[in-house]
Structure 1
Amino acid sequence: MWHTGRLAAFDLETTGTDVERDRIVTAAVVGCGGFGSYIPCTWLADPGVEIPAEATAIHKITTEQARTEGEPAADVADQIAEQLAQWLGDGMALVGHNVPFDLTVLDRELRRYDREPLLDRLGERPLHVLDTRVLDTHALPYRRRPSADQGARQLITLAQVYGLGWDAKAAHGCKYDALMSARIAQQIGTLAHMSRRYWPESIRTARRPRFHELRGLSRAELHELQVRLAAEQAEGLQSHFRKNDPTAVVDGSWPIRPWVEDTESKGVPA
């Protein structure tokens, strides 16, 4: 079953939220699941730019620390991609939360330093992704924000919904967030393959759960389903935003945003 095999859990912390311009600060790729060993791989990068105070407030890494302790950004991006290519090539599925952000940032970093993109490294080997944001949005579509400060689809919310708890001190550490995404994916998969009468009450009484639509799929089939689901979810979110902003655009590309060469910068993001 798609949730019981080996997983490569992936997460980045960055200088900001612009996938085309912002840089990697920390990263984790964690091998887990499938009755295999727990193998955490982590990196601290010197992004080559100032880390904004707003980003430091989230992941706690300062510009000074990154410059003093971090590896060159080009080397970090290359090592992350090589580890992912190795494990994905061995048949692992990549798992993360809001995967297009992390995969696109990694892709742009590799291109920025003229290193081989991840998809090129995989060649003919398949990329199978489990995105907990896409899967959760489909399985439990009707959820309000828990509070004004906490979104309905944030990683912390999913951890709470699926009964996994939350360590506020460890959160926004890449290794913790990556592993949490893997545990959430495993919980979603378990519920999908479990009789509804055995679900926890909070899940059983939720409005119109759709876990059954994720049942019995291969990883390849689930990947293709998420391509469609991500596009549909983005379209719905865009329609919602356009009630207040007619120009709002939500990119539904999944699991990575396509690269469009910037002719002014000869294809190298600033």
Structure 2
Amino acid sequence: MSWHLGRLAGFDTETTGVDVETDRIVTACIVEVGGNTPPLTANWLINPGVDIPEAATAVHGVTTEKAKTEGQPAEEGIAELVAGLTQIVLAGTPLVIMNAPYDLTLLDREARRYGVQPLSEVVGDELHVVDPRVIDKQVDKFRRGKRTLTDLCGHYRVKLDGAHSADADAIAACRVAWRLGQRYPRLADMPVWELHKAQAGWHAEWAEGFEAHLRSKGDADAVIDRSWPLVPQQREGGGE
């Protein structure tokens, strides 16, 4: 059975900002869908231990006060997230993550920050990720326009309720992944481990091309990270 017809697990976070090395997780969701099994959803509201900028609150709606009064301690929440994802990965379920290097790298740095063994170290090569953003760029390279989750939902006719909430985005990413598998038989025919490996190559190829484009436009210092689905930690104590 093709990977897109079986169980899929969506993962998404909302955060204090966009710097994976220093910003913190505020909300997160893991949702399991498909495979002729009822959906399972787990949500987290985490006190990040730092003030949440107004710009971030404007995106996801969580204020510093709300996180402090209703959120669980960050160390506890991050440990639960890693444990939950570990269980899913070791069960053989692919993780669907829109722009995986963002969410997985942020979670990795959060885990290291609180002394939790990172997901990548726990599951190793068992980690299989489906990233709709990477796949869409590969199968429809020359389509104009943005490639945000909202854009992909519009293009693939996927319902998106409550964009920029972790649970809505996680479910929508799974729906887009399913649509991709339905629309492109060559994707559906790939074992998920092969698809995972292919995406790493596709992302590196895109990053190299985009970097060259930026440099041709005058940005001589442009550097686009080739890493996927996780940016490796570059230095001891990274993520502090």
Give the TM-score normalised by structure 1: 0.85
Q: Look up the match of 1:157.
A: 151
Query: For 1:25-104, what aligned pairs fall within 5 Å after superposition?
Result: 25-104=26-105
Q: In structure 1, what is the Cα distance between the partners aligned to 2:19 and 2:69?
A: 25
1:241 CA displacement = 2.0
Provide Cα deviations, 1:211-248, integer angstroms capped at 9, x if missing partner.
Answer: x4x24110011011001001011111212222231101
1:244 corresponding residue in structure 2: 218
Q: Could you tell me whether the CA contact under 8 Å between 2:4 and 2:178 is conserved in 1?
A: yes
Q: Work out the CA distance in 2 between the residues paired with 1:82 and 1:165.
A: 29
Q: Which residue of 2 aligns with 1:188?
A: 180
What percent of counterpart residues are identical? 45
- Compute the displacement of 1:126 (Å): 0.9
**Structure 1: runs of 5+ lacking an equivalent:** 146-151, 194-211
Cα displacement (A) at 1:261: 2.2
Query: What is the CA RMSD across the aligned residues, in angstroms?
Result: 1.2
Q: Deviations over 1:61-118 (max 9, x none)?
A: 1111101100111111110110000011011000011011000000000000111110
Tell me if structure 1 keeps the 8 A contact 2:28–2:166.
yes
Distance 2:94 2:172 in 1: 15
1:175 match: 167
In the comparison of the two structures, how many residue pairs are matched?
Answer: 238
Q: What stretches of structure 2 of length at least 5 have no aligned partner?
A: none
Residue 216 (structure 1) aligns with: 189
Cα distance in 1 for partners of 2:115, 2:234 equals 15
The answer to whether the 8 Å contact 2:8/2:94 transfers is yes
* 1:228 lines up with 2:201 in the alignment: yes
Aligned CA distance change for structure 1 residues 77 and 252 (closer, same or farther; 3 Å): same
SS in 2 for 1:3: helix
The 8 Å contact of residues 153 and 159 in structure 2, kept in 1 or not, is answered as: yes
AA at the equivalent of 1:241? L
Query: In the alignment, is the contact (CA less than 8 A) between 2:9 and 2:96 conserved in 1?
Result: yes
Q: Return structure 1 stretches of 4+ with deviation > 6 angstroms.
A: none
- Offset, 1:30: 0.5
d(CA) in 1 for partners of 2:96, 2:141: 20
In 2, Cα distance between the equivalents of 1:248 and 1:29? 34
TM-score (norm 2): 0.96
For residues 52 and 246 of structure 1, the distance between their equivalents in structure 2, rounded to whole angstroms, comes to: 32
| Structure 1 residue 44, shift from structure 2 partner | 0.4
- Cα distance change, pair 156–40 in 1 and its aligned pair in 2 (3 A): same
Structure-1 separation of matches of 2:214 and 2:60: 28
1:56 deviates by: 0.6
Max Rg structure: 1
Report the counterpart of residue 235 of structure 2 in structure 1.
261
